[in-house]
């Protein structure tokens, strides 16, 4: 058969959101440009009906249902409904992009190795909420963002890529968050490109790219590699 006509199915990515959707936008743009190769965002799912990210998805013609966590009595019934909604779209991978609900261990296990999250700190520093305030409070000089696999432990899964930014003397939460967000928009598409291409392996809790430690690929972004 002429190789031009070989049919390769595209990988299917579902994105979970709760808010603004700037990382979703970066992911959708990277799928459209091919930076995340041969991948369709097949669903954007929110736990908040008012999330602006839902409108972004709808404008792009992407199904964008909401599973409102307030309609469920407890975490496990919400997770069961969310899981059913996700699985309706049969995604290969799931990206949490500003998804602000903690997930049950059973949920994390169901998507083990297929679900990733972006967290606005250089993990393992500052897990949880208010990471920029935590960073300013501790007086750290480098801060940043991390893309990691999702496991049962909050913000503690194997790290795929990190991006660092300087903390400047005049920073407040807003200025620091904006600097970190710019690096988030760079590292999340990169991590997803590796993930959908099957280039990531988890060995003893650590991620390798292309199956070897010396792949020659640098899974970090440093100050000086971008306009700050
Ligand atoms: C990002 O900073 C992300 O790291 C954090 O929540 C924020 C979401 O922003 N988990 P957006 O909705 O992608 O604009």
Give the DSSP H/E element, type plus range, for residue 181: helix 173-196
CA of 22 to the centre of ligand 1 (A): 7
Q: Indicate if the pLDDT at residue 165 is higher than 90.
A: yes
**What's the number of CA atoms in the CB half-sphere (13 Å) around residue 155?**
19
Homologous superfamily of the 1-111 domain (CATH): Formyl transferase, N-terminal domain (3.40.50.170)
Structure tokens at 166: 């300087």
Tens of pLDDT along 56-105?
A: 999 999 999 999 999 999 999 999 999 999 999 999 999 999 999 999 99
Q: Indicate if the pLDDT at residue 228 is higher than 90.
A: no
Q: What is the pLDDT of residue 222?
A: 74
Tens of pLDDT along 167-206?
A: 999 999 999 999 999 999 999 999 999 999 999 999 999 9
Q: What is the mean pLDDT of the chain?
A: 93
Q: Indicate if the pLDDT at residue 24 is higher than 50.
A: yes
CB atoms within 10 A of CB 153: 10
Q: Kind of pairing, strands 200-203 and 206-209?
A: antiparallel
Provide CATH 3.40.50.170 ranges for the chain: 1-111, 117-220
Q: What is the mean pLDDT of residues 124-130?
A: 97
Structure tokens at 6: 């070989």
Q: Indicate if the pLDDT at residue 224 is higher than 80.
A: no
Q: What's the CA gap between 46 and 101, in Å, rounded?
A: 10
Per annotation, catalytic residue among 93, 119, 132, 143: 119
Ligand 1: residue whose CA is nearest its atom 1: 98
Q: What's the CA gap between 121 and 91, in Å, rounded?
A: 27
Contact by Cβ (8 Å): 112, 105: no
- Report which ligand 1 atom has the smallest distance to the Cα of 52: 12
CA of 58 to the centre of ligand 1 (A): 19
Ligand 1: residue whose CA is nearest its atom 5: 98
Active site residue 119: yes
CA of 1 to the centre of ligand 1 (A): 45
Contact by Cβ (8 Å): 44, 24: yes
Q: What percent of the chain has pLDDT over 70?
A: 93
Q: What's the CA gap between 117 and 99, in Å, rounded?
A: 8
E strand spans, the chain: 11-17, 39-46, 93-96, 115-119, 142-149, 159-166, 200-203, 206-209, 220-221
117-220: CATH topology is Rossmann fold (3.40.50)
Residues 6+ apart with CB under 8 A from 2: none
CA of 145 to the centre of ligand 1 (A): 10
Helical packing angle, 173-196 and 22-33, nearest 10°: 40
Q: What is the mean pLDDT of residues 124-142?
A: 98
Stronger pLDDT, 225 or 43, i.e. the higher one: 43
- Report which ligand 1 atom has the smallest distance to the Cα of 145: 4
Q: What is the pLDDT of residue 7?
A: 73
User: Is residue 1 very low, low, confident or very high in pLDDT (cuts 50, 70, 90)?
Assistant: low
Stronger pLDDT, 5 or 92, i.e. the higher one: 92
Residue whose tokens read 């069961």 = 80
């Amino acid at each position: 058969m002429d190789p031009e006509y070989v049919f390769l199915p595209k990988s299917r990515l579902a994105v979970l959101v709760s808010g603004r959707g700037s990382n979703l936008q970066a992911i959708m743009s990277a799928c459209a440009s091919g930076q995340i190769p041969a991948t369709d965002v097949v669903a954007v799912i929110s736990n908040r009906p008012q999330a602006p990210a839902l409108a972004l998805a709808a404008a792009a013609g992407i199904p964008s249902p909401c599973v409102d966590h307030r309609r469920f009595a407890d975490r496990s019934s919400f997770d069961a409904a969310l899981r059913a909604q996700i699985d309706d779209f049969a995604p290969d991978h799931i990206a949490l992009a500003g998804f602000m609900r903690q997930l049950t261990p059973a949920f994390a296990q169901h998507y083990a190795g297929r679900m990733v999250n972006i967290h606005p700190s250089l993990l393992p520093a500052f897990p949880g909420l208010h990471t920029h305030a935590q960073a300013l409070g501790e007086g750290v000089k480098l801060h940043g963002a991390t893309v990691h696999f999702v496991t049962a432990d909050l913000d503690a899964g194997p790290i795929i890529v990190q991006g660092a930014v300087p903390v400047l003397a005049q920073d407040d939460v807003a200025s620091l968050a904006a600097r970190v967000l710019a690096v988030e928009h760079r590292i999340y598409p990169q991590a997803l490109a590796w993930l959908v291409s099957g280039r990531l392996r988890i060995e003893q809790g650590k991620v390798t790219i292309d199956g070897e430690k010396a792949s020659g690929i640098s899974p970090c972004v440093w100050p000086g590699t971008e306009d700050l």
